[in-house]
Amino acid sequence: MFPGSAVGIETGQGEPRARGLTPRAQRCVWLAVLLAPLSVIFLGCQRGDAGADNPNTKRITGNHPPVIRAATLVPTPLVLTGPIIVHVDAQDIDRNPLSFRYRWILNGQSIPSQEGEQLPPELLKRGDALSVEIWPHDGTVEGSSFTTEPVVVGNSPPVVAHLATEPESAYPGARVRAQADTSDADKDVVRLSYRWWKNDVLVQEGDEAELDTAGFSRGDTLVVEALPFDGAQKGAAVRSVPIRIGNTPPRIVSAPAKSIVNNRYDYQLEATDAESDSITYSLETAPPGMTIDEHKGSVSWLTSQDQIGVHKVRILAKDSQGAITFQEFELNLTPAVPAKPAGA
């Protein structure tokens, strides 16, 4: 029975029947009975939608300012061998891209016109205290600033900027010299020590910047290493580009003849080669008519009176590997002195 009603419902096969109602009224009751559960479900959904725990409920919130968690100055320890850079560890919970504003602080004072993440080392010196204040920005709002702890600039190690050997082409028996360009950010005096290697074997070590290659052979490799020291700290060692010991040029061992006899000049050039290479000879500079035997080195010159004066001679000796040496000298051709008559 429905509350406050005298109408009862009978159930059986077919549709429910209400006692004491007309057929039309009975149909309305039946429809109400069927729709009642749907009404309960609808009301429950309305209550759920209005609840704070519904996952479909969207909360509207504002932008969050970014936060700097840490910042570090590099290099560590702080030296002046390159630019000073600050590395920033920042967070933005809205995942916006961040930019930063910087204020560099040297010995408690702001450095003018320095607003980037790098600081030139020329602005600092040993013993200075350096820090940086940083503000994060997410494109909408700027977060709170973060200031690093002051870091004291330490001694900067000396640097070998360039190292080479002279001459660039060496041969056995030649003296090779190391040429080093050094720098020191603290303006300290830099001293160098050297290590010399022949075919990767250490052959000389110390302050000597020269090496005698006596005992080397054609094809050997030579490398020098320079280690800088500023009186307090050693810098990084630097090695030169390896050079290959080349071919020894011939050596001329004879001296030119001085005299001209019967209008004729003769000179036998003699030369040796350390690698026993064959030698050929040529005249680079000579008076007209002077000749030289290409293989024997025999010099001949038949003079004439119209060649009176000083003549320069330059003779080349070349081995089969292309190495060349030379000899230079001058010949002074003077007029013949007439013989005095007998009894004069």
Residue 118 identity (one-letter amino acid): Q
Question: How confident is the model at residue 39, as a pLDDT?
Answer: 46
Question: How confident is the model at residue 22, as a pLDDT?
Answer: 62
| DSSP H or E stretch at residue 23 | helix 23-49
* Same domain, residue pair 220 and 175: yes
Question: How confident is the model at residue 179, as a pLDDT?
Answer: 97
Per the structure, the count of domains in the chain is 4
Residue 92 within any structural domain of the chain: yes
Interatomic CA distance for residues 320 and 277, integer angstroms? 6
**Tokens in use for 165?**
């050997």
Residue 52 within any structural domain of the chain: no
**Phi and psi, residue 60, nearest 5°:** -105, 115
Nearest to residue 67, comparing CAs of 100, 91, 94, 102? 91
* Same domain, residue pair 87 and 36: no
CB 283, CB 315: distance < 8 Å: yes
Question: How confident is the model at residue 19, as a pLDDT?
Answer: 53
* Same domain, residue pair 72 and 126: yes
Interatomic CA distance for residues 211 and 325, integer angstroms? 22
* Same domain, residue pair 128 and 173: no
Residue 210 identity (one-letter amino acid): E
Residue 120 within any structural domain of the chain: yes
Interatomic CA distance for residues 154 and 78, integer angstroms? 6
* Same domain, residue pair 77 and 15: no
10-residue mean pLDDT series, the chain (344 residues): 43 49 57 50 40 40 91 96 96 96 97 96 96 97 97 96 92 94 96 97 97 93 98 96 93 92 94 93 96 97 91 96 94 75 58
Question: How confident is the model at residue 236, as a pLDDT?
Answer: 96
Residue 84 within any structural domain of the chain: yes
Residue 2 within any structural domain of the chain: no
Question: How confident is the model at residue 26, as a pLDDT?
Answer: 61
Instruction: Answer yes or no: pTM beyond 0.85.
Output: no
Residue 62 within any structural domain of the chain: no
Question: How confident is the model at residue 342, as a pLDDT?
Answer: 60
Strand order in the sheet with 159-166: 159-166, 175-183, 210-212
Q: 8: which strand partners?
A: 19
CB 267, CB 293: distance < 8 Å: no
CB 190, CB 184: distance < 8 Å: yes
**Tokens in use for 19?**
């006692």
**Phi and psi, residue 225, nearest 5°:** -120, 135
| Burial state string for 302-312 with b = 16 or more CB within 10 A and e = fewer than 16 | ebeeebeeebe
* Same domain, residue pair 291 and 267: yes
Q: Kindly list the distances between the CA atom of residue 30 and the CA atoms of 17, 22, 33, 102, 220, in Å, as whole numbers in the listed order.
A: 8, 12, 5, 79, 114
Q: 261: which strand partners?
A: 264
Q: Count CB atoms within 10 A of the CB of residue 247.
A: 19
| DSSP H or E stretch at residue 30 | helix 23-49
Strand order in the sheet with 309-319: 279-285, 309-319, 324-333
Question: How confident is the model at residue 4, as a pLDDT?
Answer: 44
Nearest to residue 265, comparing CAs of 293, 300, 298, 305? 300
Picking from 152, 180, 207, the residue at the C-terminal end of a domain is 152
* Same domain, residue pair 284 and 325: yes
Angle at CA of residue 211, ends 247 and 252, nearest 5°: 40
Residue 343 within any structural domain of the chain: no
CATH of the domain at 299: 2.60.40.10
Residue 60 within any structural domain of the chain: no
Which 3 state secondary structure label does DSSP give 35? helix
CB 254, CB 270: distance < 8 Å: yes
CB 255, CB 225: distance < 8 Å: no
Question: How confident is the model at residue 340, as a pLDDT?
Answer: 62
> Where in the sequence is the domain holding 328, given as residue range(s)?
251-333
Question: How confident is the model at residue 262, as a pLDDT?
Answer: 87
Interatomic CA distance for residues 32 and 11, integer angstroms? 15
CB 223, CB 296: distance < 8 Å: no
* Same domain, residue pair 200 and 262: no
